[in-house]
């Protein structure tokens, strides 16, 4: 036990130097080994069961790491790394974790060889800079030259390791069409494809191939009353974040009534307050009312009489998206600055049509022809909850990848081609340096090969032989005397179905350039962050804190 500082009662333990570094590396390797077998088109799934028995079946790296509930501080860095990759790109979460752990392992070996961590860090940073530069200049291809087929192939590559692999043609086309349908141009002239404007709904029953796109924004809700109309044309939508129920006094407010005749007057006034609020909405022109809270029977009666559709218990996220695509504003209250109640018609969202549609055992509310932005929805069908959840994750990754390709307009070959090419390039680059960073860059180059090696192992192929052939192809394509003759070899990657090397660009195995550059940058940053740690101090809880737990 080490007493830290001179503060009374502040006790804990401290690990320093190589001990803490080895412990951190082991923790990161353990996490990477969990997701390693799920990499690639023939990767396997994980079944994760939480403390209350909820089961998740997935091979999405970010989802697996989220559900692992990692306690180790260095391990948490890798979990955050996967989440960052998921947020920035949407795909490549497994490979970025495997790469970061391999970089750490090799860096730790260099430290054991008495090379200072500072030299390793500067070497890694230099290697990262050169690798990203080489990917952008030599390996990247413009999508304009490849056309729509490139977008379909990018989506299929993303889905190849997921549950949608069997029907990848069908779902890749759906992902591309959905992303293209929400194309928007902002005020500065930039073209954007907001994936959040595509709502993914799930319904049990039928086969996955009976999933379909719905024109418009669909909600997993139903009309609050069967007496309401099923279709409203030229819809004006009120978006409310408060209750449409009989008005009641707030908690803690007491009303003392001495005259029994006044009691009925109070009850009547409570009803009148709600009637006035509904009238304000109807007079403003609202014929569709969506609220995140409840609507009671009294309010339903008035909405039915007005011929409006009322929908209750709409998710807050859905309300925000509908507000964005219809040009409406979410109202938290009708009260003005002076306390008087009013409803401004400019707060209403607009759409061409709002209707209810029956799907399986449930109904959907569909908002079609939104005024502000285009929107779309996808209805997924499948046999059970686990399958539908995994289908949603796979489709979301594919749509994010298509969005990134459309916005950046650049793709690179997949199948380990980029990592093999960078490995050869960085090895040659390391030989040109006469400084201590040479060994760090050489190890960085070797670490990149963990991706093609893992892909080959997961496909039950001879990883050593395949990676050797792959490196030979890229070596010839980068040699000046062979560059013209072996130009097509620069796109050589692994065909994991047949266990041979092929041209990934021609075979349509494509990934966004952004996915590769970001994963290299993020993995390097994570490895450097953990490598910089040489002291871990853990403070013990005091007796008072233990007693209060």
Active site residue ranges: 60, 93-94, 397
Q: Return the sign of the alpha-carbon dihedral for residues 203, 207, 210, 213.
A: positive
401-411: burial string, b at 16+ Cβ within 10 Å, e else: bbbbbbebebb
DSSP summary character for residue 187: T
- Residue 74 structure tokens: 């260095």
The tokens of 61 are what?
Answer: 């790296």
Which of the 8 DSSP states describes residue 347? G
Q: Residue 126 contacts by C-beta under 8 Å, 6 or more apart in sequence?
A: 437, 441
* CA 2 – CA 539 distance, rounded (Å): 10
Residue 179 CA to residue 376 CA, distance in Å, equals: 9
The residue among 521, 523, 517 whose CA lies nearest residue 138 is 517
- Tokens standing for residue 285: 């022109």
Bridge partners of 310? 289
Q: Count the neighbouring beta carbons within 10 Å of the beta carbon of residue 439.
A: 18
Coil, helix or strand at residue 536: strand
- Residue 509's contacts (CB-CB under 8 Å, 6 or more residues apart) are 153, 157, 413, 414, 415, 493
Distance of CA 455 to the CA centre of its chain: 23
CB 441 within 8 A of CB 127: yes
Alpha-carbon distances of 50 from 38, 54, 261, 508, rounded to whole Å: 20, 6, 58, 38
């Amino acid at each position: 036990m080490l007493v830290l500082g001179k503060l009374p009662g502040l006790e804990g333990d401290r690990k320093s130097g190589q001990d803490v570094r080895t412990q951190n590396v082991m923790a990161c390797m353990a996490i990477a080994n969990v997701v390693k077998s799920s990499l690639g088109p023939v990767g396997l799934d994980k079944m994760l069961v939480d403390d209350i028995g909820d089961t998740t079946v997935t091979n999405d790296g970010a989802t697996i790491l989220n559900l692992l509930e990692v306690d180790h501080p260095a391990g948490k860095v890798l979990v955050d790394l996967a989440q960052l990759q998921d947020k920035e790109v949407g795909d490549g979460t497994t490979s970025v974790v495997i790469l970061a752990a391999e970089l750490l392992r090799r860096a730790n070996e260099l430290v054991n060889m008495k090379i200072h961590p500072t030299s390793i860090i500067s070497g890694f940073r230099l290697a990262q800079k050169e690798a990203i530069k080489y990917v952008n200049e030599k390996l990247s291809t413009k999508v304009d030259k490849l056309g729509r087929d490139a977008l379909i192939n990018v989506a299929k590559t993303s889905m190849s390791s997921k549950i949608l692999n069997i029907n990848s043609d069908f779902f890749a086309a759906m992902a591309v069409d959905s992303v293209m349908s929400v194309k928007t141009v902002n005020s500065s002239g930039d073209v954007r494809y907001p994936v959040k404007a595509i709502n993914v709904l799930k319904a049990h029953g039928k086969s996955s191939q009976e999933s379909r796109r719905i024109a418009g924004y669909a909600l997993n809700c139903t009309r609050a009353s069967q007496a309401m109309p099923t279709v409203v044309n030229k819809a004006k939508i009120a978006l409310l974040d408060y209750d449409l129920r009989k008005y009641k006094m707030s908690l803690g407010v007491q009303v003392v009534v001495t005259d029994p005749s006044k009691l009925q007057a109070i009850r009547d006034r409570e009803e009148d307050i709600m009637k006035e609020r509904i009238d304000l909405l109807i007079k403003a022109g609202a014929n569709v009312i969506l609220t995140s809270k409840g609507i009671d029977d009294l309010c339903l009666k008035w909405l039915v009489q007005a011929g409006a559709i009322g929908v209750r218990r709409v998710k807050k996220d859905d309300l925000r998206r509908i507000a964005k695509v219809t040009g409406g504003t979410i109202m938290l209250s009708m009260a003005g600055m002076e306390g008087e109640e009013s409803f401004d018609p400019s707060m209403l969202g607009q759409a061409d049509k709002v209707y209810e549609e029956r799907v399986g055992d449930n109904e959907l509310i569909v908002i079609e022809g939104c005024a502000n932005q285009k929107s779309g929805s996808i209805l997924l069908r499948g046999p059970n909850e686990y399958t539908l959840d995994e289908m949603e994750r796979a489709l979301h990754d594919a749509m994010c990848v298509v969005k990134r390709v459309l916005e950046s307009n650049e793709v690179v070959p997949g199948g380990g081609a980029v990592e093999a090419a960078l490995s050869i390039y960085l090895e040659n680059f390391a030989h040109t340096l006469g400084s201590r960073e040479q060994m760090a860059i050489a190890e960085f180059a070797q670490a990149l090969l963990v991706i093609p090696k893992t892909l080959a192992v997961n496909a039950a192929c001879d990883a050593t032989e395949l990676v050797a052939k792959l490196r030979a192809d890229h070596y010839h394509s980068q040699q000046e005397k062979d560059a013209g003759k072996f130009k097509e070899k620069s796109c050589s990657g692994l065909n994991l179905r047949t266990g041979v090397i092929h041209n990934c660009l021609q075979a349509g195995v494509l990934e966004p350039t952004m996915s590769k550059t970001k994963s290299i940058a993020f993995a390097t940053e994570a490895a450097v962050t953990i490598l910089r740690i040489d002291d871990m101090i853990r403070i013990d809880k005091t007796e008072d804190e233990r007693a209060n737990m």
